[in-house]
């Protein structure tokens, strides 16, 4: 989706963008916010790139809701291609979740679709679940403010992270799988609008276009596939793709966003890892912060200057700035590398010093060191589970294929649920790579990490460390429907690492 343009084309695109508000708009229901999916041009490393955008009625990325406000939104598709947007971490009815089931197909070009459900307060985000559009920046913040946050009287700053490539996402996937771009594009079509899964019919690698060898892979694709010692002493794979840049609020650290703050100011920093295949360490530099929420849900505050954040996870960090006129960089360092992105917090009169794009030292692999320390402020009611099961995460780089319980999407066996059940799932990683696992339509509590029982955080996305890593989660089956459960590394999901949790009685 990322395409180079001439300067004349960039200027023409800018003129067109200024004219968009003058175009006729679909009639919106009373109180509904307009969310526009469209095309924009940004500059990355001095080059123009054509990417997607999701823009709210205020002209800013995404949506911001007031306390108690419903999610009443009309999504208008001005991209020229089909799309569907998932409200990551929210708990809508399953037909409004933004996943491309046969019953809820993508939105056609020029079409509009209405959504209306009770919003869950906290830091969330939205992204495309159509093909690989998320990689081309079809993603944006979704912030639902709570009453307590209003009373805090803190400046709210959103820091959204992305990984960026000038190559088309299908080209990236083709390089990973050793296939053609056309075959990679066909492979992504199997992530959506598929027939009802047949229980027990696992899909062989060849059926999804997998190559039995990696001989067709370009060397540049894998230049950041890194082996590093893991937490258990084994080796792990990191960073499937050699990205051209890493972005913080759409900008590189060579030209970072300067966020104006007050001296001795009080800040709530909402950090969203919207990257498609990259995990980071949030580095607060000279500041000490307190993590008070993860994935939108409150935790007992944990202090520190450096925190891991896996793909699709969010951190709410409180910062109390000192009274002097210094600028404070806040960076995100790519695991296993020195590369980083970030923003600068700067009070009036502060001297702005640009940081090198490369950090002084290589970052360690992102792990569950923070996860093991987190304790929720809203634990599940204690009860015995009705269903206890395991899901084994497996796969590898050669061939590039990733599975759950030995099955590859869409030929999977759904986990059948009954409303009212308490579910406990042990996620066991048999692969050399960490996997950020995301459940649609539900929040779960982390109740064990690597075999250690905890009264952990309430989340929607949890990292499972490489073999022999494990995480146990618990949730209540209280939202009937069809729900996706998948690795949030976009390319792991595209090559099979997804399954379905389906409630009894739901028509398919």
Per-residue pLDDT of 169-191, as tens digits, reads: 999 999 999 999 999 988 888 77
Residue spans per domain, the chain: 7-146, 191-214+378-503
Per-residue pLDDT of 336-353, as tens digits, reads: 999 999 999 999 989 998
472 CB-side CA count, 13 A? 15
> How many angstroms separate the CA atoms of 273 and 278, rounded?
8
Question: Hey, is 8 helix, strand or coil?
Answer: helix
Per-residue pLDDT of 121-162, as tens digits, reads: 999 999 999 999 999 999 999 999 999 999 999 999 999 999
Buried b / exposed e along 370-400 (16+ C-beta atoms within 10 A) = bbebbebeeebeeeeeeeeeebbbbbebebb
Q: What pLDDT is stored for residue 221 in this prediction?
A: 39
Per-residue pLDDT of 359-386, as tens digits, reads: 999 999 999 999 999 999 999 999 999 9
Sign of CA dihedral 124, 126, 127, 130: positive
pTM of the model: 0.89
CATH of 191-214+378-503, one of 2.10.109.10, 2.170.190.11, 2.60.40.420, 3.40.50.720: 2.60.40.420
Phi and psi torsions of 413, nearest 5°:
-105, 110
- Provide the edge-to-edge strand list for the sheet that holds 306-309: 258-261, 340-347, 328-334, 280-283, 306-309
Domain 7-146 part of CATH 2.60.40.420: yes
Give me the DSSP letters along 173-238.
HHHHHT--HHHHHHHHHTTSSPPPPPTT-PPPGGGGT--SS-TT--TTTTTT-EEEE-TTSSEEEE
Is the fold of 7-146 the same as that of 191-214+378-503?
yes
- Answer whether residue 272 shows pLDDT above 80: yes
Cβ(401)–Cβ(210) below 8 Å: yes
């Amino acid at each position: 989706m990322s395409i180079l343009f001439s300067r004349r084309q960039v200027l023409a695109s800018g003129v067109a963008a200024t004219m968009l508000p003058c175009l006729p708009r679909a009639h919106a229901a009373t109180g509904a916010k307009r969310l526009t999916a469209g095309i924009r041009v940004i500059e990355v490393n001095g080059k123009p790139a054509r990417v997607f955008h999701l823009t709210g009625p205020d002209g800013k990325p995404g949506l911001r809701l007031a306390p108690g406000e419903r999610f009443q939104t009309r999504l208008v598709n001005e991209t020229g291609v089909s799309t569907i947007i998932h409200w990551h971490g929210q708990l809508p009815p399953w037909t409004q979740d933004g996943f491309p089931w046969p019953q809820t197909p993508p939105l056609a070009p020029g079409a509009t679709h209405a959504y209306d459900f009770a919003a869950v307060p906290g830091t969330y985000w939205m992204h495309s679940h159509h093909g690989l559009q998320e990689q081309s920046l079809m993603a944006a913040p979704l912030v639902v403010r709570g009453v307590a946050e209003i009373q805090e009287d803190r400046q709210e700053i959103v820091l959204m992270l992305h990984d960026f490539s000038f190559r088309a996402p299908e080209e990236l996937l083709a390089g990973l799988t050793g296939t053609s771009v056309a075959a990679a594009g066909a492979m992504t079509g199997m992530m959506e609008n598929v027939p009802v899964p047949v229980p027990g019919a696992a899909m062989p690698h060849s059926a999804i276009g997998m190559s039995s060898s990696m001989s067709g892979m370009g060397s540049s694709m894998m230049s950041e596939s890194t082996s590093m010692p893991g937490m258990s002493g084994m080796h792990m794979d990191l960073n499937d793709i050699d990205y051209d840049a890493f972005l913080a609020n759409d900008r590189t650290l060579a030209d970072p966003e300067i966020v104006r703050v007050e001296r001795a100011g009080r800040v709530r920093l909402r950090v969203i890892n919207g990257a498609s295949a990259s995990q980071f360490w949030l580095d607060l530099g000279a500041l000490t912060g307190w993590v008070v929420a993860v994935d939108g849900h409150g935790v007992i505050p944990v202090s520190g200057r450096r925190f891991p954040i896996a793909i699709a996870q969010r951190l709410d960090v409180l910062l109390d700035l000192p009274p002097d006129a210094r600028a404070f960089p806040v960076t995100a360092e790519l695991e296993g590398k020195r590369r980083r992105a970030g923003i600068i917090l700067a009070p009036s009169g502060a001297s702005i010093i640009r940081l090198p794009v490369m950090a002084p030292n290589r970052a360690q692999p992102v792990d569950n060191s923070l996860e093991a320390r987190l304790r929720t402020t809203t634990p599940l009611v204690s009860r015995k589970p009705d269903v206890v099961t395991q899901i084994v995460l497996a796969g590898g780089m050669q061939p590039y294929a990733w599975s759950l319980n030995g099955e590859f999407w869409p030929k999977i066996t759904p986990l059948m649920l009954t409303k009212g059940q308490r579910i406990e799932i042990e996620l066991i990683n048999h692969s050399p790579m960490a996997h950020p696992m995301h459940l649609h339509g539900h929040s779960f509590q982390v109740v064990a990490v690597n075999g250690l029982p905890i009264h952990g955080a309430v989340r929607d996305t949890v990292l499972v460390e490489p073999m022999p890593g494990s995480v146990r989660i618990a949730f209540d089956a209280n939202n009937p429907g069809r729900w996706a459960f998948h690795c949030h590394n976009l390319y792991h999901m595209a090559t099979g690492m997804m399954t379905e949790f389906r409630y009894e009685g739901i028509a398919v």
